[in-house]
Structure 1
Amino acid sequence: MTEFVLGSVLESVRPRCIAILAVSVLLGGCAGAARIPEDSFYRLEIAAPAIRLPAPALTGVLVVQSGTAAPVYRDRALLYSEPETPARLQRYHYQYWIDTPPQLVQRSLADYLRAAGVATDVVLPEEGIDARYRLRVDIERFEHRRGRAGGEVAVGLRLTLAERASGTLLAQEFLQGDAAVQGNDFSAVAAAYRQALTDLYGRILTRVRALDSTGR
């Protein structure tokens, strides 16, 4: 009698145990499938110019200022556009710069021009140094154009160089730089940005060197 009762109890419990086990396995599988990707962050380090000018092109201190940029370019997320809709920008998920593009460009350009010896010294506004010249950099384009292979990155900068005391405008122009993405991952995209900016900074250096700094 005791064995019969025990057997009946086991038979009634068994289906519920199997059901609970099945639900546990199902939930465990869902949890594994719903793993969220980790965020990735990219630096924008630009190599110093190959040569240093024998003498400064600008006699005095130059301050590099971050200018205007559309709100989407002040976000740290990497941006892209599709070939079919080039006017539409979208954000990559989980892929970020370590700082906003305006800050990255401002600091890397200041470092580049300082290493080139383009002025007596090159500083940032937060250093609080009285500068004779001001170079403002506006970002008008900063995106990855997806396409065949890895696509390309496009960077557009508008530069304004002026003498601070007099307000004399020394140079103002828009520069566009593109670089092909040599790979199919985001590290290759970041490398293409570095290449595009290196080329642009070289052109900026050439432009400043061409200025007649006599009497300045």
Structure 2
Amino acid sequence: MKDTAMRPIILLPVLALILLGGCAQPELPRDHFYRLMVPTPEGASSAPELPGVIEVQRLAADGLVSERPLVFSFRDDTQALRQYNYNLWNEAPPAIVQDQLSRYLQAAGIARRVVTPELRQRPDYQVVGKIRRFEQVVGAPHGVAVELELGVVRLRDDGLVFRRSYFAERKTVDDAPATAARAINEALAEVFAGFVRDIRELKVR
């Protein structure tokens, strides 16, 4: 009789564990963060192209492009933009593009000194612009697309020296976000190189 009476009591914890296991939520995906690390230019100018100090402003960006989640579109519908939920840049694109562009211009020897507004230097020129596209393109052929509008302003007379759009694409082997992040670095290097080339050819003064 004792064994029969104890059996329901023993079974209750087992049933509770089964019920809890059935109600347990699946583990959420982990966030993945990506740095922007644009390859530096191969050769620097022997003499600065711009006399004085050039200040790189934070670039403007609209909507999803201004936010940290990686943005993607589909090859057959590039008008519609979407965001990843768990794949993010370590900072918002306007901030990291500003940082990488200032580093690139300094390495290229474009000016005597390249700064950002946080350094509170008195600049002679400003680099201004806007991020137009900064996205992965999903679907064959896999790839990424980057488009920046960049310009140089001469501060002594508020003259717009020039302003142009720069576009670059890179094909990728797959649609993985990590692959896209690496390809965006390469595409951005092409855009920066075009901007530097224009500064040199125009002989900005």
TM-score, L = length of structure 2: 0.92
Task: Give the corresponding residue for 1:108.
Answer: 100
Contact 2:153–2:162 under 8 Å retained in 1: yes
Residue 139 (structure 2) pairs with residue 147 (structure 1): yes
1:18 pairs with 2:11 = yes
Encode CA deviations 1:63-85: one digit per residue, 9 max, x unaligned: 11113210311210001112343
Q: Report 1:87-98 matches (<5 A).
A: 87-98=79-90
Mark the CA change 1:23 to 1:81 in structure 2 (over 3 Å): closer, same or farther.
farther
Greater than 6 Å deviation, 4+ residue runs:
none
Corresponding position of 1:133: 125
1:22-171 map, 5 Å: 22-28=15-21, 30-31=23-24, 34-148=26-140, 151-171=142-162
Question: Using the alignment, how far apart are the partners of 2:136 and 2:19 within structure 1?
Answer: 40
Q: For residues 156 and 184 of structure 1, do their structure 2 counterparts lie closer, same or farther at Cα, with a shift above 3 Å needed?
A: closer
Over the matched positions of the two proteins, sequence identity in percent amounts to 30
Going from structure 1 to structure 2, the CA distance change for 1:143 and 1:60 (only over 3 Å counts) comes to same
SS at 2:114 equivalent: strand
Question: What letter is aligned with 1:167?
Answer: D
Q: Any conservation in 2 of the 1:153–1:192 contact (CA below 8 Å)? A: yes
* Alpha-carbon spacing, 1:83–1:27, altered in 2? closer, same or farther (3 Å): farther
Which residue number in structure 2 is paired with residue 198 of structure 1? 189
Structure with the greater alpha carbon radius of gyration: 1
User: d(CA) in 2 for partners of 1:200 and 1:18?
Assistant: 68
Residues 160-208 of structure 1 show CA distances to partners (whole Å, capped at 9, x for unaligned) of 2110120111111111111112345322111110110011111111011
Give the counterpart letter for 1:172 in structure 2. Answer: R
Kindly indicate whether the alpha-carbon contact (under 8 Å) linking 2:61 and 2:130 is maintained by their aligned counterparts in 1.
Answer: yes
Structure 2 residue runs without a partner (length 5+):
none
- Counterpart of 1:27, as a letter, is L
Distance in 2, matches of 1:157 and 1:184, equals 23
C-alpha RMSD over aligned residues: 1.8
The gaps in structure 1 that reach 5 residues or longer are none
Q: Does 1:189 align with 2:180?
A: yes
Contact 1:64 1:137 in 2 (8 A): no
